Chains A and B, each alone.
Chain A
């Protein structure tokens, strides 16, 4: 039998060793209510305990990297939305930041502020879904409806500024496509942000976060040590849940983030060990509050000026060279490695998606868990298959 240290479960290693049983091969298939997207998990279980967990990917592979070698930089922005389709503005932001680094394009201040506002709104929307579906996996049906109510408001706000409800194609290398509409958009965003901070987040904490059953389900489950996180390249709330204060917005200081004052929440092991599923959940909840803070500062300090760089020609060419640039998407560190050859089409464009690296941990940590805990763990990693399969 394996020498793995099992997470808290009621079957001890000796008990399983005495009774000779066969391992049941289960398929948590591509269509399954709990795997967030078309993820297939091949499990070998003995009763409730999982002994091997292998993710099978590729059901949502759409060849975005090959497409990047066939169309020009400006046209590819629309594909960047489709990666993390729950926080598309963050993905847009990642791509245009990388493209501007390779192409050495300047961006006006106003455009940077607008980018920050919409990216943070997208981040809030993504975290709302993450928390809502996580609660749903745990059997709490009601927070899902409440959080989707808030997400509807965000989608309406983003529709007013970009024209799309869920996939925006809003940022371009050199600025943003449209300016802020003059139908009181900024005040509406401020009102929404105030409502979320003062009324909704305490509401969710009362209903779900500190509920005894929820804490029992998630405390001490799926503990990720800091070494495992670094080794497997986990970033984002997964890494912060294990206690590491790392955020690309602070450490890489891209866009307008250096101007704003915000905290980086980390997991503190409030209901169990540091790095369990509850910590990751709470980090996301606190990040919603921090995003509200950033949005408020970005709107208050919004400068006047152009929203696109003046030198933006119809055809954007990037000089020969290569650069890797990363930004903090809602799931973690989203990086683009672009190799340019002087023309308008990238030579090689590699996307480093956070969910791809976060999911790999499941092959190690999933061993020894119960099936219910595995569902909780996958939910706490907050993966999006669009990013993983690209």
Chain B
């Protein structure tokens, strides 16, 4: 089934919840009201004409600083300065958070993409773990990395980072930590390079290898 046709069925079911279908670009997607996402997901999974039984991917997105004009001028992420201090910025982050759902139907072999957007100060939307269990871990990762809270999730806690980590790294306004516990973090390798810059620039000279000792086994032994 074509994506537009799928969207029409979905819009018929959701009514006001379906906010629009974006057809330009490489991949078409449908925008959904975040409050109705569980309803949409259940409909997409259970309707006989659609049968989306697999959630391929659930991605959290931080739309802060996205360059709408397509010129590549999005806001850069903050790293470490050359002196080893975390970069800071006075810019106040104001973009929305988004979540993209990519669905696939094994029975009917069609795909679909859903997107939702929530304002930054709210950062909450219902969880679809009840519809596809695989969302459980994807949503945990979105919470861990971006701080989007999924209501109704059975076990929302950090997954890839430590339990006591502060902050949500994939946010665009995330500042790198200066210390982790007692270890200073400066964006540089922890051990020093033993070679000086001059030695690195010089190519190595291969020395004469000493002859092998007599009792070393030869190939045929």
Contact = CB atoms under 8 A, between A and B. Distances in A.
Direct contact of A and B (CB under 8 A): yes
Interface in B96-154: 100, 102, 106, 109, 113, 132-134, 136-137, 145
Given A230-B106, A335-B56, A61 B72 contact: no
A360 B136 contact: yes
Contact of A233 (B25, B55, B60, B62): B55
B77 A69 contact: yes
Interface in A303-317: 317
Interface stretch (A111-119, A339-347, A375-383): A339-347
Contact of B145 (A65, A317, A389): A65
A58 B77 contact: no
| Of B53, B57, B62, B102, most A-chain CB atoms within 10 Å | B57
B26 to A, nearest CB: 4
Contacts, number: 118
| Chain B binding surface SS class | loop
Contact of B70 (A58, A231, A342, A389): A342
A146 interface: no
A102 B134 contact: no
Interface string B48-67: 00000111110111100011
B79 interface: yes
B134 A233 contact: yes
A230 B160 CA distance: 24
A58 B100 contact: no
Nearest to A337: B59
Given A324-B102, A343-B72, A345-B72, A350 B57 contact: yes
Interface string A1-31: 0000000000000000000000000000000
A357 B137 CA distance: 8
A356 interface: yes
B159 interface: yes
B66 A341 contact: yes
A342 B71 contact: yes
A321 B26 contact: yes
Contacts of B57: 324, 335, 337, 350, 352
B191 interface: no
A66 B77 contact: yes
Nearest to B165: A58
A366 B55 CA distance: 22
B188 interface: no
A319 interface: yes
Contact of B54 (A57, A69, A233): A233
Interface string B5-32: 0000000000000000000011101000
Interface in A331-390: 333, 335, 337, 339, 341-345, 347-348, 350, 352, 356-357, 360, 364, 389-390
A324 B109 contact: no
Interface in B163-214: 169-170
A87 B158 CA distance: 28
A257 interface: no
A343 B62 CA distance: 17
Contacts of A323: 25-27
Nearest to A353: B57
B83 interface: no
10 contacts: A66-B77, A69-B77, A230-B54, A231-B132, A233-B132, A324-B27, A348-B62, A350-B100, A360-B136, A390-B160
Interface of B: 25-27, 29, 53-57, 59-62, 66-67, 69-74, 76-77, 79, 100, 102, 106, 109, 113, 132-134, 136-137, 145, 158-162, 169-170
Given A58-B161, A323-B26, 6 more contacts: A66-B169, A66-B170, A233-B54, A324-B102, A335-B102, A343-B71
